[in-house]
Chain A
């Protein structure tokens, strides 16, 4: 496609043409240039600082992630620990109560011996003391298997706890409670003369203990749910 004469004429005439821009045009350009020049200052240190901060952030996140994993394991152990403590407490109280009962019965027997010695003659006293001693021995013999049972029970519980960390608290309590009842009934059967006030106070103590257990159970359940939720969140 060749250019015509008119087109050549257009090119020549427009090439020589000039338009004088307005006097304010340079000021506008000057203002625009000053605006664009300002951000062109050296910001290398900003990039360097940003990169260092980014690296530190990433590294801290990475290391915190590892720590969190360990913390979850710790929590698992912590959650199970109250169960063990609970059992131990319960066992110790049971043992303590049984021992207390035995000692009380012995004290009562000795009181009876003292009373009878003051009232009756020596021969009668000797016979009575012998009878009482035999009775004491019998009671002691009766108490020994109960104590052994409790010790065995405790050992079994410990074994169960060692076998599995995740043992249901209710099941363990259910397994322990009938034995304690049996133990109490046997003690009551063995000692006919028992102070009712003391028994009532003991029952009150047991009730308080059960309430405490309930509270601990609720707390344990809440901790359990919290840990499960935490572990689920971390796994996500």
Chain B
């Protein structure tokens, strides 16, 4: 019953926000902005730039809110807009190259016993180049398939796979560095 009531409440707020009710829009923003800023931070290293991108994405959310069919998850719909805005934001700031490795991709295994903090994970992701980072985030965190990533970024499936393989290789070396640092402490 509670779930149904929450769903109805969300739909009512959405309807009000579609009618440019500023209070309803503020409520939606207050509810989803912390999570969405975290999503933007995964892609953009600078928090301020990530916040700018998030605000622009929220504006697109409210402008196109009437297109939301209320069939799927509202959070998922907003998240998708955020990711698209982040990718276009990165591409606007600097040119992102997605280079396909002619040797293909290789399976890389990490060590399993390691436990990282959120800050460590973020620093690991930040160390990746933009091309690798986007593909890694889309595949690992957002759960997209390589085919979907390829269509989203306008690249081939092979390129997406090779980019992910390169990202893994780089992360492995970064994890090794972190591991050595912890051993020294």
A residues with a Cβ closer than 8 A to B are: 1, 3-7, 9-11, 13-15, 17-22, 25-26, 28-30, 32-33, 36-37
Which residues of chain B have C-beta atoms less than 8 A from A28's C-beta?
A: 55
Q: Which residues of B have CB within 8 Å of A4? A: 109-110, 112
Instruction: List residues of chain B with CB within 8 A of the CB of A36.
Output: 59, 63
Q: Are A21 and B37 in contact (CB under 8 A)?
A: yes
Shortest distance from the beta carbon of A197 to any chain B beta carbon, whole Å: 100
Contact B161 A21 (CB under 8 A): no
User: Which residue, of A18, A19, A33, A36, has the highest number of chain B Cβ atoms within 10 A?
Assistant: A19
Known contacts A6-B114, A14-B42, A37-B20, A21 near B51 by CB under 8 Å: yes
A30 to B111, CA, bound (A): 47
User: How far in angstroms is the closest Cβ of chain B from A18?
Assistant: 4
Binding site for A on B (CB under 8 A): 20, 22, 25-26, 29-30, 33-35, 37-38, 41-42, 47, 50-51, 54-55, 58-59, 62-63, 105, 107, 109-112, 114-118, 121-122, 124-125, 139-141, 143, 146, 161, 164, 175
Is A33 a contact partner of B34 (Cβ separation < 8 A)?
A: no
Q: Which of A6, A14, A26, A33 has the most CB of B within 10 A?
A: A6
23 pairs of residues in contact across A and B, judged by CB atoms under 8 Å:
A1-B105, A1-B107, A6-B114, A6-B116, A6-B175, A7-B140, A11-B141, A13-B116, A14-B118, A14-B121, A20-B34, A21-B54, A25-B55, A26-B26, A26-B30, A28-B55, A29-B58, A29-B59, A30-B26, A32-B55, A36-B59, A36-B63, A37-B20
Interchain CB contact (< 8 A) of B29 among A3, A6, A18, A29: A29
Q: Is the contact region of chain A dominated by helix, strand, or loop, or is it mixed?
A: helix
Q: Give complex CA distance A183, B22 in Å.
A: 105
Q: Tell me the dominant secondary structure on chain B's binding face.
A: helix
- Chain B: CB-nearest residue to A34: B22
Evaluate contact between B38 and A19: CB separation under 8 angstroms.
yes
A21 touches B110 (CB 8 A): no
Chain A residues with CB below 8 A from B41, complex form: 19
Given contacts A14-B121, A32-B55, contact A21 B33 (CB under 8 A): yes
Do residues A29 and B55 form an inter-chain contact, with CB atoms below 8 A?
yes
**Are A25 and B164 closer than 8 Å at their CB atoms?**
no
Instruction: For B25, list chain A residues within 8 Å (CB).
Output: 33
Which single member of A5, A7, A25 contacts B51 (CB below 8 Å)? A25
The answer for the CA separation of A33 and B59 in the assembled complex, in Å, is: 7
Q: Are the CB atoms of A5 and B110 closer together than 8 Å?
A: yes
Question: Which residues does chain A contribute within 8 Å of B111, judged by CB atoms?
Answer: 6
Nearest CB in chain B: distance from A22 CB, A: 6
A18 with B140: in contact, given A6-B110, A6-B114, A29-B58 (CB under 8 Å)?
Answer: no
The 9 closest A-B pairs by CB, nearest first: A18-B34, A19-B37, A6-B110, A17-B38, A7-B140, A5-B112, A19-B38, A13-B118, A21-B33
